[in-house]
Each structure stands twice: as structure tokens, then as C-alpha cells.
Amino acid sequence: MHPVLFELGPFQLRTFGLMFAMGFAVAIWAILRRSKRWGFPPDPILTLCFLLIFGGIIGSRIAYVLMHVPEFAGRWMDAINPFAGEQFGLAGLNLYGGVLLSIGLALWYARRRNLPILGTIDLMVPGVAIAMFVARWGCFFNGCCFGIPTDLPWGISFPPDTLPYYVFGAEHLHPAQIYSSLYGLFLYFLVIFVDNRKKWFGQTFAIFLMVEATLRTAIEPLRYYERAMHFMAFGYDFTYNELVSVLLFTAGVFLLIFLPRHGEPAEFQRSTFGKS
């Protein structure tokens, strides 16, 4: 583990933050690259990229705070105050919160700039996937989002003075962060394949929602969550991320049913924006 790369007074350059930033940078590269292929105007797409960064950070923080309300009760400013702890920065993010707010901002911005709404969402999906691949390595080096004990040969143990060690000691754990990173890479190549062959606006987005939700649900039982992240429903002990996965999968199914009847053909996108 290398959670901190270096310190300068109260400032720490944390590996998680660096990988998060690198994830955004790679996402912007992927989105701009795809925008050239589809002939989208560069200026609004670049603005969209900065909105995605804003949505990714703010949405991730809001989701974390909402899932850990008792932790911030009576001191709500700590949720946004980077000087609240002993070190400069904000600890605690939830990936789904960032993804959902980013999608919402993309929908709003596309409508405001008269861009094809579902076509614009399709454009950002590969960027989201490749950002997941990069950012999850930050989770690994930080020692967060870790798995439960396993006897598999690739199980990993964490050093003392880390949260995984505090919870499970020196036991070997599922490298859940690496699982999540690898499925982000798989998603990236999958959505590129789909996007190059799609028939309607939104088809890439729908496939992304369904496959991401499926893979996330498959990994959830292998991850450790504190009790605050669980809730009971229909006699089953759910995590909040599983609930979000169900909603995302349902939205993807709805789009696949809706698009063939009411969607806009992707050929229209090609003829309108051209190909480079």
C-alpha cells in the first residue's frame, strides 16, 4: 500500500486523489477522441468534460455523506470543509453518486446546447468506463473498498494501521478494488464495440447501464461494507449500491425496449455530425 506519496505540512498528495485525477484525465481523452469520430463540436464537449469532473467529485461526496449521516450529524460543515481533519482534504467518496450526478449534468447541458441528448450520453460512457478502471487502483493503494476473506491464491493482505487490517487482521482478502478496475476496462472495450455498431441514440448507454449493474452486483458479495451501508428489504440484506444497480439495470432495459420504437436512428447522428 502507498496511500500517501508525499507530505508538505498539512498537505498530503494521496495516491487515491492522484489516481482519481488521472481517471478524469483519461476520461476526457476518451470523450474528446470519440467526439472527433462522431463530429461533435469541440467547445461544448470540452465544457461537458469539466462538468463531468465537477459532477464526479461533488456527486461522490454527497452520496458518501448521505450514506454516513450519523458520522456528520451536528457538524455538517465537515462534509465540505477540507480543513476539518488533521490533514488537508476530504475523505470519503461513493462512485455511484459521482456517476449519477455526472449523467444528470450531461443531460441538462446537452439539452441547453441543443446537442442530441442520448447521443451525448453515449459519447461520455466510454470515458466513465475508463475512469473507473484507473480510479479503482487509487482505492487499492488507499486500502479502501476492500474485499472479504478468501482462500483463493490471489487473495491479498494489508499491513497494520490500515482499515482492512483493523477489520480482518492479516487474513487474505478478495482484491475487490482490482475486480472493479478490471470490469471498468472490460466495459470500456465493450461500449466502444457497441458504439461503433449501434442503431439508435442511447443504445451504448443502455448496454453500459445493464452490464455495469450486473458486474457490480456480482462483486458486491465479495466486498466488505460497514453496517451503515446495509438495509433490509423483502427479507434480504441489501447494500445501497445493490439498490442503485437494480435501478440502473431497469433503466437500461427500459431504454432497449423504448429505443427501437421511439428512438432516433444513429445513422442520423452520423449524417448530422459527420465522421473524422
Instruction: Specify whether the CB–CB gap between 152 and 29 falls below 8 A.
Output: no
Q: Which residues of the chain have pLDDT under 70?
A: 1, 6, 8-12, 72, 75-92, 267-276
pLDDT in the model for residue 185:
96
- pLDDT per residue as tens digits for the range 198-223: 888 899 999 999 999 999 999 999 99
For residues 101 and 90, what is the distance between their CA atoms, to the nearest angstrom?
18
pLDDT in the model for residue 60:
83
**240 burial level (CB within 10 Å; 0-12, 13-18, 19+):** middle
For residues 69 and 211, what is the distance between their CA atoms, to the nearest angstrom?
30
For residues 52 and 27, what is the distance between their CA atoms, to the nearest angstrom?
9
pLDDT in the model for residue 169:
92
pLDDT in the model for residue 76:
66
Instruction: Specify whether the CB–CB gap between 200 and 266 falls below 8 A.
Output: yes
Distances (CA, A) of 161 to 7, 136, 244: 18, 21, 32
Pairing, β 230-233 against β 236-239: antiparallel
pLDDT in the model for residue 223:
93
Q: CA triplet 81, 85, 88: central angle to 5 degrees?
A: 70
Residue 255: name the closest of 122, 81, 123 by CA: 122
Instruction: Specify whether the CB–CB gap between 162 and 62 falls below 8 A.
Output: no
Plot region of 21 (φ>0 → left; ψ -120 to 50 → alpha; else → beta): alpha
